[in-house]
Structure 1
Amino acid sequence: MKRTGTVIVLVLILISFLGGIWYIWSKDQADPVIYETETPSKQTIVRKTVATGSIVPKEEVLIKPNISGIIDEIFVEAGDVIKAGDLIAKVKVVPNVSSLSSARNNINSARTQVETARLALESQRSIYNRQKGLFDKGVISANEFDQAQLSFDQAQQRYNQEKVNLGGAQQTFDIVKTGTASGLGASANTEIRATVAGMVLDVPVKTGNQVIESNNFNDGTTIATLADVDKMIFEGKVDESEVGKITENLPLEITVGAIENKKFDAVLDYIAPKGVSENGAIQFAIKGSLSKQDTTFIRAGLSANASIILAKAEDVLAIKEALVQYDPKTQQPFVEVAIGDQEFERRDVTLGVSDGLQVEVLSGVSENDKIKVWNQLKPAPSFGGR
């Protein structure tokens, strides 16, 4: 029995020994793990955020009539470039019956007042002439003559004022009836002229359309929209998650969908202090002035994207973000640099600007260092005869 037990133990020891040898042999036969390496390179890294919007004129001027009526003739169309004072349209006045009747009554009343003042003046003239004769003969005192002269002068002044009032009533009647009056020049005119120089962006009315004058109670009908197309701005919106990263005077790169292979430089001028909720997200309006450097014509209203450049590093040493590791305790960045064949050492690095793919390396590695790529690669299996 003892001999049998000894044999069993020896057999087990032998099996274990052979198993260990086989395990070591199989591990030696396994394909070795190979790490690839990459070297840093010179890159221009731009960290930016994108806002969507459109291109609009910096200032739009709405041309409105100063009198109500019907468009009689239009002299411009969208796309025309005009100067200040150029004729845009003519308005034909259609008099209001009530206003016309009131103006006519005012004329009649003014005429009556003129006639009354004329009669009073003639009466005072007679008295003045009579008192003057008596004064020349020494019959009346100088005080009595002065009183007669004062009354005559006042009657003359009242008569002149009533004639002026009659002229004003006549002008009001002419304006109500025809839209213009003699002696008022351009202040009451059916000719609508440009107030500024620029391009006509829109003419929303047609011949025969009725228009309303601009006054304290009504904005009036827009006859034409003018703008200087050499002064365009980008208007867009950014999400609340991005608005904290941007500040005024940051550079913008504008790309217009309708203009291929073109970028326009701009400067961020305005960030709205208050956001607006759109589709459950808070959006903040922004504006940026374009600095056109060529003759490319940008049409107002074109959709565009603005890349807001948050940081930029030109021609700096950079590596891929995927090569950077972070210490689990200190969270400090580091990389592993090759010091021999598949031998690596840890190097702490200082990072700069990152665009999400490439990151600037301020210190820790040089341009000739080979940095470990963490993707493990195994050599392709070889087949007999191949």
Structure 2
Amino acid sequence: MKRTGTIITLLIIFTAAAVGIWYIYSKDLEDPEVYQTETASEQTIIKETVATGNIVPKEEINIKPNISGVIDKIHVEAGEFVEAGDLIAEIKVVPNINSLTSAKNSIAAQQTSVETARLAMENQKAIYDRQKTLFDKGVISANDFDLAQNNYNNAVQRYKQEQVALRGNQQNFDIIKTGTTSGLSEYANTNVRATVSGMVLDVPVKEGNQVIEANNFNEGTSIATIADVTKMIFEGKVDESEVGKIKEGLPLEITVGAYDNRKYEAILDYIAPKGVAENGAIQFSIKGTLKEIEKDSAFVRAGLSANASIILDKADSVLSVKEGLIQYDPETKQPYVEIAIGDQTFERRDVTLGLSDGIYVEIKDGISKEDKLKIWNPLKAPQGRGGYGG
């Protein structure tokens, strides 16, 4: 029995020793954790949200004709600069038969009125001449002579008025038929001129196209679109989750991909009060005015796609660290970092955070620029170290 107990005891001791040796060996094979450090740096942190949209002119003017007809000649092309008053196109009038007939009938009726007024004037002239002869001989009184003279003067005036009305009807007939009349060629409705200075963005009609004048029942045919391309705006949309973070007056940074991501400065000056449902989300329209673009700078074409970075907040040249270096206390949720105080020895240091852009975060208090901050992810030492390495 004694011998059996001794054997069992020896087996237990031997097994424990083997397990201990194996544990020490396996732990020695594991690479020790080595933590690197990093220092804080000065960064300009920008908190922003992005909206997609287009670059469009601040104002686009549609040039429309003052008379219906057919385009006879176009004097401009898209891309040309024009001044207010420059000739855009000429219109050949195609008269409306009903209007032309009505104008012709008005002339005929007015000619009758003129002839009637002429006969009445001549009659009053004859009466006036007789009364004047009698008055000179003292046969009639001055009152009778004055009455005859007054009737004659009125008849002359009426005749002149009827002649003026006839000329007006004749001019109206000419305008309906040709679009202009004698003495008014410089104001001819057949000449379509630019109302503003700027660039011609589009000429949607061609020579031979029929055009309609603007009236109460029709907005008219656009002959050309003119805009000042030095005054452009960004039109875009933001999601409802972002609209609460923005306000009028915030700076925008417009990026135009077509020009190698060239950037333009702008100011947010409009946020739509009402959203529109698009693809299951509510979108709000925004507008931002670009700073005036010099004519000799890169030409920004109307309608180009662009992205607008809306700068919500900005901190210039502040002490910052990478977001990944910040740890949070599991109970108090207080942010902290670990500062190196020796070789692979660290101590906790509470910090006060400021603005963050998702990569860097501002450190308002707690560390200095010289402190070495622990990087969480440890590095493993190379394999093959010690007496057990292969």
TM-score w.r.t. structure 2 length?
A: 0.89
Residue 370 of structure 1: aligned partner: 372
Amino acid at match of 1:333: P
Does the C-alpha gap of structure 1 residues 136 and 11 become closer, same or farther in structure 2, counting only changes over 3 Å? farther
**Equivalent residues in 2 for 1:136-285, closer than 5 Å:** 136-285=136-285
Residue 75 of structure 2: aligned partner: 75
Does the C-alpha gap of structure 1 residues 13 and 100 become closer, same or farther in structure 2, counting only changes over 3 Å? same
1:361 aligns with 2:363: yes
Residue 50 of structure 1: aligned partner: 50
Residue 307 of structure 2: aligned partner: 305
Does the C-alpha gap of structure 1 residues 340 and 24 become closer, same or farther in structure 2, counting only changes over 3 Å? farther
Asked if the contact 2:251/2:268 (under 8 Å) is kept, the reply is yes
Amino acid at match of 2:364: L
Alignment equivalent of 1:314, drawn from 302, 313, 316: 316
Partner-residue secondary structure (3-state), 1:189: coil
Amino acid at match of 1:281: A
Does the C-alpha gap of structure 1 residues 7 and 104 become closer, same or farther in structure 2, counting only changes over 3 Å? same
Does the C-alpha gap of structure 1 residues 121 and 346 become closer, same or farther in structure 2, counting only changes over 3 Å? same
Separation in 2 of the partners of 1:329 and 1:153? 110
Asked if the contact 1:66/1:188 (under 8 Å) is kept, the reply is no
- Stretch of structure 1 that moved more, 105-114 or 192-201: 192-201
1:108 aligns with 2:108: yes
1:317-342 alpha-carbon deviations (Å, 9 max, x no partner): 11111111223344332222222233
Separation in 1 of the partners of 2:228 and 2:285? 22
- Stretch of structure 1 that moved more, 217-226 or 369-378: 369-378
Per the TM alignment, residue 111 of structure 1 is displaced from its structure 2 partner at its CA by 0.8
Per the TM alignment, residue 185 of structure 1 is displaced from its structure 2 partner at its CA by 4.5
1:143-175 alpha-carbon deviations (Å, 9 max, x no partner): 444433333333222222211211111111001
Per the TM alignment, residue 35 of structure 1 is displaced from its structure 2 partner at its CA by 2.7
Residue 352 of structure 2: aligned partner: 350
Separation in 1 of the partners of 2:158 and 2:11? 143
Residue 66 of structure 1: aligned partner: 66
Separation in 2 of the partners of 1:350 and 1:49? 24
Separation in 2 of the partners of 1:147 and 1:340? 128
- Stretch of structure 1 that moved more, 178-187 or 103-112: 178-187
Asked if the contact 2:63/2:195 (under 8 Å) is kept, the reply is yes
Partner-residue secondary structure (3-state), 2:353: strand
Residue 331 of structure 1: aligned partner: 333
**RMSD of aligned Cα (Å):** 2.7
Which segments of 5 or more consecutive residues in structure 2 lack a partner in the other structure?
none
1:108-133 alpha-carbon deviations (Å, 9 max, x no partner): 01111111112222222233333344
Per the TM alignment, residue 213 of structure 1 is displaced from its structure 2 partner at its CA by 0.9
Partner-residue secondary structure (3-state), 1:319: strand
Partner-residue secondary structure (3-state), 1:375: coil
Partner-residue secondary structure (3-state), 2:121: helix
Residue 120 of structure 1: aligned partner: 120
- Stretch of structure 1 that moved more, 9-18 or 288-297: 9-18
Per the TM alignment, residue 272 of structure 1 is displaced from its structure 2 partner at its CA by 1.6
Q: Percent identity?
A: 64
Per the TM alignment, residue 306 of structure 1 is displaced from its structure 2 partner at its CA by 1.4
Does the C-alpha gap of structure 1 residues 11 and 217 become closer, same or farther in structure 2, counting only changes over 3 Å? same
Amino acid at match of 2:154: Q
Asked if the contact 2:383/2:389 (under 8 Å) is kept, the reply is no
Per the TM alignment, residue 5 of structure 1 is displaced from its structure 2 partner at its CA by 10
Asked if the contact 1:45/1:355 (under 8 Å) is kept, the reply is yes
Which segments of 5 or more consecutive residues in structure 1 lack a partner in the other structure?
none
Partner-residue secondary structure (3-state), 2:341: strand
- Stretch of structure 1 that moved more, 148-157 or 136-145: 136-145
TM-score w.r.t. structure 1 length?
A: 0.90
Amino acid at match of 1:290: L
Does the C-alpha gap of structure 1 residues 8 and 125 become closer, same or farther in structure 2, counting only changes over 3 Å? farther
Asked if the contact 2:31/2:382 (under 8 Å) is kept, the reply is no
Residue 39 of structure 1: aligned partner: 39
Asked if the contact 2:65/2:189 (under 8 Å) is kept, the reply is no
1:165-209 alpha-carbon deviations (Å, 9 max, x no partner): 111111110011111112334444311111122111111111111
Amino acid at match of 1:242: E
Separation in 1 of the partners of 2:237 and 2:307? 10
Per the TM alignment, residue 36 of structure 1 is displaced from its structure 2 partner at its CA by 2.6
Partner-residue secondary structure (3-state), 2:253: strand
Separation in 1 of the partners of 2:21 and 2:189? 110
1:35-63 alpha-carbon deviations (Å, 9 max, x no partner): 33221112222211111111111111111
Amino acid at match of 2:113: Q
Per the TM alignment, residue 216 of structure 1 is displaced from its structure 2 partner at its CA by 2.0
1:265-306 alpha-carbon deviations (Å, 9 max, x no partner): 222222222212211111111222222366111111111111
Amino acid at match of 1:340: G
